[in-house]
Chain A
């Protein structure tokens, strides 16, 4: 996605990447990136939570003018609420490694 963002940006259209995988975004260098501390594939939080999602999107978009240099990443907290006894970090690891759920 970073390659695509850079081509679009180079064509004259500003881009804002909103992602979750911080360590990968650091490597691939999109022009502007907001990283949300939510699980990958669920950038804007849990399903069927429209108000919280809208608030998070507004927060990320509101940072568009805050970037001081190309390649900058701005981090914001996520809105994911863990189920008791199951962190989302563990959930994501199990999903990616195709391990059974706890």
Chain B
């Protein structure tokens, strides 16, 4: 049975109330247009990963994003300050599987990897900035690369 995280997060936040989860007002739905082996796929991670040569993310409400070149040899850094971060700092693939996705494309399991992946800082509570600015900008950039499937990997 899956671990229940909400009681643990409530215990951590106590005596304050836990962070509010924002449920989407309406679930969107776009049918898949292609079989997996024809899809161009891009990863969107919320682990606050960036190319090491890019500006660092900052804790406490950063609603910016970073474009990470799909070349899996590009050096990356994890900026997220999560207490569960020991393993991702050993191997970012545990939550940002860019090498694995590249390997699956080489084997023909997925059609191709898009030119870039994207990264944001998860756990930000400024929901208006996320839905009004950040997410539309990500959507625009994914569309410009003709992405068929955005692989969302929360951290």
Specify which chain B residues have a CB less than 8 angstroms from the CB of A28 in the assembled complex: 21-24
Q: In whole angstroms, how far apart are the Cα atoms of A18 and B12 in the complex?
A: 25
Taking a contact as CB atoms under 8 Å apart, the answer to whether B149 and A41 are in contact is: no
Instruction: Count residues of chain A with CB under 8 A from any CB of chain B.
Output: 59
Q: Taking A14-B31, A29-B24, A58-B109 as contacts, is the C-beta distance between A8 and B95 under 8 angstroms?
A: no
Q: Which of B21, B83, B104, B154 contacts A27 (CB 8 A)?
A: B21
Q: Is the CB of A47 within 8 A of B90?
A: yes
Across the interface, A35 reaches (CB within 8 A) one of B2, B21, B84, B93, namely B2
CA distance A44 to B91 in the complex (A): 11
Whether A44 pairs with B88 at a CB distance below 8 angstroms is no
Is the beta-carbon distance between B27 and A6 smaller than 8 angstroms? yes
For residue A97, CB closer than 8 A to chain B, the reply is: yes
Give the number of chain B interface residues (Cβ < 8 Å): 70
Q: How far is the CB of A88 from chain B (nearest CB, A)?
A: 8
Q: Which residues of A have CB within 8 Å of B27?
A: 6, 29-31, 70-71
Partner of B12, one of A6, A27, A35, A96: A96
| Given A3-B135, A8-B152, A17-B153: 15 more A-B contacts, CB < 8 Å | A6-B135, A11-B143, A13-B142, A13-B147, A14-B32, A14-B150, A15-B150, A19-B153, A27-B6, A57-B101, A61-B109, A61-B151, A64-B39, A64-B149, A96-B8
Mark A residues whose CB is within 8 Å of B.
Answer: 1-19, 21-24, 27-31, 35, 37, 39-48, 50, 53-54, 57-58, 61-62, 64-65, 70-71, 75, 89, 92-93, 95-98
29 CB < 8 A contacts A-B: A1-B44, A1-B152, A1-B153, A3-B22, A3-B24, A4-B138, A10-B28, A11-B136, A11-B139, A14-B30, A14-B33, A16-B152, A18-B152, A24-B6, A28-B21, A31-B27, A41-B82, A44-B100, A47-B94, A50-B99, A54-B100, A57-B104, A61-B36, A65-B35, A93-B8, A95-B84, A96-B84, A97-B8, A98-B12
